[in-house]
Amino acid sequence: MPAQYRQGDVLLCRVSKVHSGSPVPPDAGGRLVIAEGEHSGHAHALAPERAQLFRRGRQLRLSVGADGTALSHEEHSPILLPQGHYLIRRQREYDPRASRPVSD
């Protein structure tokens, strides 16, 4: 089984490579944001010097450089991600009308 890392509602699954997509630029605070909280303004984020984030449709993929990087969030302990490529998945919650992503 490939390596997996979870931080709150975000799951990162190690994959063999990152397929092409549009690069996601850093936000106004200079962070690569994987997911933002619905109400708190908190975010799951990385330093752009150590990783690249790509979007292909609704899918996000991450490429982490040789030194690795930390995934941070204001309400969780940081997670150290080693060099590699990751598919990013968001936890979803059931609602009779539609499935929707969870935000912490």
What is the model's pLDDT at position 9? 87
Contact 35, 41 (CB under 8 A): no
Pair of tokens at residue 75: 């309400």
pLDDT of 102 > 60? The answer is no
Contact 60, 32 (CB under 8 A): no
Q: State the Cα–Cα distance between residues 5 and 71, nearest whole angstrom.
A: 10
Looking up tokens 């990162």 gives 12
Q: State the Cα–Cα distance between residues 87 and 62, nearest whole angstrom.
A: 6
What is the model's pLDDT at position 55? 94
The pTM of the full predicted model, rounded to 2 decimals, is 0.82
Pair of tokens at residue 39: 């109400």
pLDDT tens digits, one per residue of 1-35: 679 999 988 999 999 988 778 999 999 999 999 98
Burial annotation 77-87 (CB, 10 A radius, 16+ → b, else e): eebebeebbbb
